[in-house]
A and B are shown apart, each in its own frame.
Chain A
Amino acid sequence: MYLRSINLCRHYKRGTYIVKALDDVSAEAHRGEFLSIVGSSGSGKTTLLNLLAGLDTPTSGVVEFNGASLTGMSRRERSAYRAHKVGMVFQSFNLISHYTALQNVETALLFNDTSPKQRKMLAASMLEQLGLADRLTHRPADLSGGEQQRVALARAIVKKPEILFADEPTGNLDFENTSQIISLLKSLNSDGLTIVLVTHNLEMANTHSHRIIKMRWGKISEEDDMHSHEGTKQ
């Protein structure tokens, strides 16, 4: 199994009661797969994604990557997992506002032993690939939403991760930019990148992903393998 969660729980204590953001979730993602997690707001999608990305630690349960338990790793090993294997894209872009586009992308290479010279080169060529060659020295405030998300995507994939976690990456984008980002994700996936996409747009998930996990109240409500329905999805 490539990436999976077993009986994963993430509970938040809020005063006297407990918020079960994630409750006994066992799910999996296959290597090279385009997996979508859908569900309404507050259903626990982001919580699950952060746990799978090693950014959060579960209350109970296990996340396994290539057979190794993330929860059993040291904090430092989990940081290394994020630095080397994982790319992340957020709805609100989360670019560092005082850095240029280039610097933002370079930052991703600070933590995976890339030499300073390589950093600049790799970052620039990644931005060029995403059509931002003339935006290298722009700061996020001077970029459109779509451009910002492409910078964020460049930052996520410049270190050549194995999995890309995208948390509602098109939530803040218009139609045109949305389809641009989605087609970028699809082409990255066809190059072998495993993609876990969180969205509340079921139609988008239906159209583009190999498999869908539906969530409700912190639990998996339904799993949907697109191939078994129609077999036409790529």
Chain B
Amino acid sequence: MTVRDLIAVSTGNMWRMKFRAMLTMTGVLIAIAAFVSMISFGAGNQQYIEDQFNKLGLFSTLQVYPKEREKENSNEPDTVVFPPLDKAALERFTAIPGVNLVYPYDAFSVKVQYGDSLVDSKGQALPTAATRTKLFSVLEAGTGFESDSSKQAIISSELMKELGFDTARSAIGKRIVVSVRVSTIDSGLAHILVDKGETLLDRLKKIHFDSLFYSKYRGKVIRAEANEVARRFVNGFLNARKTVSDTLTICGVREHVRAGRLRIEPVIIPFETAALFSTSGLGESPTEIFSALTSGKLFSTPEDAGEKTFSRVTIDFDPKVPYTAIRDSVEKLGFRTFSFAAEFEEIQRAFLYFDLALGAIGLIALITASLGIVNTMVMSVNERKREIGVLKSLGADESEIRWLFLVEAGVIGVLGTSAGIAAGWGITRIVSAIAQHYMEQEGIPPIDLFALPLWLISIAMAVGVGVSLLAGFYPAARAARVDPVAALRNE
């Protein structure tokens, strides 16, 4: 008997018992539909995260942070000094093979003005090369910077709306005024000389010069004046900040993307243009002043910018280089890292358990369906004993009889599973459409929560057909063992 004959005879029998075969298949269909739609949910989420990561090129980036001493149970002796995340460190990262680009995260508060709108926001400096990496090149409109010193800015789509633009396209080429308030040493020094209209000379006049010969009075005056100078400096430094403004042209509007732990500021300004803002002093944060004070850098000139340290540095590397290689090199230099590739591996592991749990539920349904197959087929074997006897008398071998019934189980499996996959897909489309409708109403960009990747189809097919065949084994063996002599005996 050829395979074609087997299939023809088996399907012929099923066709004769259409209703019964359909009921049996429906069991498989429901189980597989449940299996597929449930795992499709896990797969969809996984796919979404992977797509986002890929879109932003996150798999080939590494975030570097300076190491911090752990407060408690630190094994390192206090003498261990962690390397600062400064320009020298950046150069060392650039030298690592496979690294394309290294740029720091350097943020500051800005005011952005366009027409009548004035918006408080945050800005960050970025080298032109970085705007060409995937992470910054997902633009709704426009392009990256022309050069590191061009008077341009890339803004977020949210900021774009706050500034009163309707579409990203209409914002491109518009000029905005970006202001940064900086505390300067100059303003601090100036306040030593004049504070609230009182000049240093006025104060000097108040000093009783003849009394200076008395050491007690002298000490008091010196202390008072020193205190006053310090007070005036700090007051001047903190309160009389200088505002540095510049007019920049919007060259790009960044799409809204969620990049997990990665912060991207609403205003992105070319590296050297941004430097112009900060040459005049330190940033907004008071801690910056104190850290500058304690590190003895308060009066350092802008030329000493090499001394500047960063809270975070992004490394963009060749996607062909495994992230572990870059990570290990950076960590060997004494820094802390975060990689999305590592995080994705963890997410995948979590999803595997999630999928397994969902799959187990589907499998239980499938086992129930398979009992239906066993039941129907055993019944069918019992009804067809005489027919089996006839086939044997005509020369059918036990193995051929077994195959006849296995093929029947297989056909139930293939048809039931195919229909089940289609039905499962249909369910996910409906649920997805409803979910996306609600997302839209909530103002969330609609995402497809489900996916039907090829691996899921393959697994569903293998499991569905596999379980059906397994269910067919016992009835098939029973059919093969039918005693033809007994089956053909006159009633």
Contact = CB atoms under 8 A, between A and B. Distances in A.
A92 B397 contact: no
A110 B393 contact: no
A47 B486 CA distance: 11
Contacts of B489: 46
Given A94-B390, A96-B387, A55 B485 contact: yes
Contacts, number: 73
Given A75-B398, A92-B491, A53 B393 contact: yes
A176 to B, nearest CB: 22
Which of B389, B395, B396 is the most central at the interface, judged by chain A CB atoms within 10 Å of its CB? B395
Interface in B367-396: 386-387, 389-396
B16 A55 contact: no
Contact of A155 (B9, B387, B394): B394
Interface stretch (A80-88, A122-130, A183-191): A80-88
Contacts of A46: 489
Interface in A52-67: 53, 55-56
A231 interface: no
B397 A75 contact: yes
A81 B397 CA distance: 11
B394 A111 contact: yes
Given A50-B484, A80-B397, A111-B1, 19 more contacts: A55-B485, A55-B488, A56-B484, A75-B398, A76-B397, A76-B399, A79-B395, A80-B395, A82-B393, A83-B394, A83-B396, A88-B393, A94-B389, A95-B390, A107-B394, A108-B395, A110-B1, A111-B395, A111-B397
A83 B490 contact: no
Interface of A: 46-47, 50, 53, 55-56, 75-76, 79-84, 86, 88, 90-92, 94-96, 98, 107-108, 110-112, 116, 155, 171
Interface of B: 1, 4-5, 9, 16, 386-387, 389-400, 484-485, 488-491
B401 to A, nearest CB: 10
A92 B490 CA distance: 6
A91 B9 CA distance: 26
Nearest to A96: B387
30 contacts: A50-B484, A50-B485, A55-B484, A56-B485, A75-B398, A76-B399, A79-B395, A79-B398, A79-B400, A82-B394, A83-B394, A83-B395, A88-B393, A90-B488, A90-B490, A94-B393, A95-B390, A96-B387, A96-B390, A98-B16, A108-B394, A110-B5, A110-B9, A110-B391, A110-B394, A111-B394, A111-B395, A111-B396, A111-B397, A111-B400
A71 to B, nearest CB: 15
A224 B400 CA distance: 41
A145 to B, nearest CB: 14
Contacts of A76: 397, 399
A153 to B, nearest CB: 13
Contacts of B491: 92
5 A-B pairs with the lowest CB-CB distances in the bound complex, closest first: A83-B395, A79-B397, A111-B395, A82-B395, A56-B485
B397 to A, nearest CB: 4
B35 to A, nearest CB: 35
A108 B5 CA distance: 13
A163 B395 CA distance: 14
A99 B437 CA distance: 55
A107 B9 CA distance: 10
Given A90-B488, A92-B491, A84 B399 contact: no
Contacts of A88: 393-394
A90 B390 CA distance: 10
Given A91-B490, A92-B491, A116 B5 contact: yes
B19 to A, nearest CB: 15
A110 B16 CA distance: 19
A92 B1 CA distance: 26
Contacts of B391: 107, 110-111
A205 to B, nearest CB: 19
A59 to B, nearest CB: 13
A123 B489 CA distance: 26
Nearest to A76: B397
A103 to B, nearest CB: 9
A169 to B, nearest CB: 12
Contacts of B395: 79-84, 86, 108, 111-112
A94 B386 contact: yes
Nearest to A49: B485
A165 B323 CA distance: 79
Residue among B391, B394, B490 having the largest count of chain A Cβ atoms under 10 Å: B394
A83 B400 CA distance: 12
B477 to A, nearest CB: 14
Contacts of B399: 76
Nearest to B17: A98
Nearest to B16: A98
Nearest to A75: B398
Contacts of A79: 392, 395-398, 400
A213 B226 CA distance: 141
A92 B485 CA distance: 13
Nearest to B389: A94
Q: Which of B9, B386, B488 has the most CB of A within 10 A?
A: B488
Contacts of B1: 110-111
Contact of B396 (A47, A53, A110, A116): A110
B491 to A, nearest CB: 7
A82 B393 CA distance: 7
A108 B489 CA distance: 19
B463 to A, nearest CB: 33
Nearest to B390: A94
A76 B4 CA distance: 20
A91 B391 CA distance: 17
A44 to B, nearest CB: 12
A46 B389 CA distance: 15
Contacts of A50: 484-485
A55 B390 contact: no
A25 B181 CA distance: 118
Nearest to A89: B393
A148 to B, nearest CB: 13
Contacts of A90: 488, 490
Nearest to A90: B488
| Central interface residue in A46, A94, A95, by most chain B CB within 10 Å | A94
A12 to B, nearest CB: 10
